[in-house]
Structure 1
Amino acid sequence: MDNDFEAGTGPKKFSYNELFLSTDSFSEEHKLGEGGFGGVYRGFLREPNSYVAVKRISKGSKQGIKEYASEVKIISRLRHRNLVQLVGWCHEKKQLLLVYEFMENGSLDSHLFKQKTLLTWPIRYKIAQGLASGLLYLHEEWEQCVVHRDVKSSNVMLDSKFNAKLGDFGLARLVDHDKGSQTTVLAGTLGYMAPECVVTGKACKESDVYSFGIVALEIACGRKSIDHTVPENQVRLVEWVWNLYGRGQLLDAVDPKIGMDFDQQEMETLMIVGLWCAHPDHNCRPSIRQAIQVLNFEAPLPILPATMPVATYYSSPLNPGLVSFSSGANVSQNSQIQYPSSSYTTDSSKNRGLQSACSPLLCNCAQIQSH
């Protein structure tokens, strides 16, 4: 991997000892957070004389060598103000380490759901626009299309001025612009993963747009994509907000923590764009460029159905080995993946249509991270 990594420009190779010392032996006092991949620690490097965030991938993590290599190769070549910059990397002593620019205000979810800081409405709207801008670069403006595959509020980092920067490219995939999708192992995070990904096993720009829509709704509503602490009809954020939209009561979903201190036009725009992006039918979603045009008031708001549509998918059968469950069972002929209000059904002999109310997947699939 050394030769492949060093062929790029920008990120540098660090020694393990250098990173070990910079984080005070990966001490708990320097720990910024913990995820399924391992821990993130604040470190200080004399060169480049700045604080950094060091991600230490745990040995038991699902994010192994393949994801580590993917992240270094992809993110090291990307340059955009709304993407977290990779500073360096290290694989020594059976350790996988990634070094990023330090984000002073942490992740978006820590402010929305953990009350780290109350984000004002102007900052929230700026964060949504910044995230969309970063995705536009990935999808359309770089030499290849990059499908992130894990857009979620905990992967949106905030710098000292609360500018949004999308990070964690361990699941990202490069896709040719003319192809637009790639068959892959099912991956993503519950509540943010587009329903068609389960059916087709393909990473695509439209599934990233779906995830952006969910984050946009979280920003406006101050609620997680799935929240079991609220009344049953509000558990799934997109379904709850869509019902309010159909009844003309959209503003009832506004985060109560910000009270009435928001721009009503911007709030309605962000919510409707969020629903549009999270449309159950991927053919009805906008491109991220179209979403940006509406957010910037350069295009009119879309008119959505009053009730959340039920999408029907006709697809070639799933590869029986594509989705692995924690029990060891695989999706195979005539098997079902259960959803709360309906199910996808695969039938490899008859190739039946696949129907769902597009609720998030409720199973512990391999390589699907819990939020």
Structure 2
Amino acid sequence: MMMVRLAAAASLVALAGCSDPPRSWQAQDIDPANYQLTVIASGLNHPWGLAFLPDGAMLVTERNGAVRLIDGDGNLQDAAVTGGPDDVFAGGQGGLLDIVLAPDFETSGLVYISYSAGTASANHPALWRGRFDGQGFSGGETVFRAVPDRATEHHYGGRMVFLPDGSLVLTLGDGFAYRERAQHRDDHLGAIVRLTHGGAAPEDNPFHAGGGAAAYVYSYGHRNVQGLAFDPQTGVLWSHEHGPRGGDELNVIEPGVNYGWPVVSQGIDYTGARISPFETLPDFPEPVHVWTPSIAPSGLALHEGDLYVTALAGRALHRLELDDQGRVARETRLLTERGQRLRHVLSGPDGALWLLTDAPDGQVLRLTPAP
């Protein structure tokens, strides 16, 4: 089984018993003179995911259901890429979400897209794959559908990452109105699932023996995970998830672990009421880091040994410097001067950080140190 229980990961999850609790503090802003930002493309409708193609081009998902191509010279093509998913439910927080290339893309041409499918009264997160030939998709198929259907337009999760064994990890939200279901393993609300490249449940998943929906579950007890990054050096699978009012969390994901939502939470409900009397309990791992008030984290990248988090409500890029125990030693913020909702961040093949802004006229940005 692809396990992330290397020594570093084990020490991080053990923070539940550590005398130093995860910290939430006011991050220091970095002077914009220390970095250089370039607008690569504009005019994207709420861009959500981005994938780098081997020839230097990029594919970008728009939440309204389109996939757009930016060529190797940085030119956004006018026409949407043809042949993508045909049952997209684009409403509320739903629509086209993340996009990743298969590890063998250069030979298979396969691209994976997470999205919400169905109708306003019955929808669910889904995973689609198709072959991209440089112009459009062909042979598309939906290889996984989360169960059950929901009657809400919120909390789909949707981030993806391939693990070294070729399996795909996909985050799924709790559907907002169904938060208690995050404590169940017999459906996919509030879960992170692990899939084969064809969308099946790997036999070494932690609950595979239970069959049904549980066979796909990798971890559970989540609210709405929209940040995911795997560190090949340590074997650590990082994630972050939205809290309600306060209590956004950075976690290390371990197979089979229950992360506690909504039994434990360091946030409160939008009404001001307590969701739970417990901020922590011994049965659940404490988060590595917490943001209160909420920053609404929505993207996560590992870059040069640090974690970078894009914030929607916080309208900044947060840099988390880790110590040798895997704890957050220092937090700083970049791009606060722009006041933009930031949807996603990636470490690009050119050594730069790449970002998506969340807006009807969304942008692709490239961030580098100042010359």
Instruction: State the TM-score, normalizing by the size of structure 2.
Output: 0.27
> RCO greater where, 1 or 2, for CA within 8 Å and sep 6 or more?
2
Larger radius of gyration: 1
More strand per residue: 2
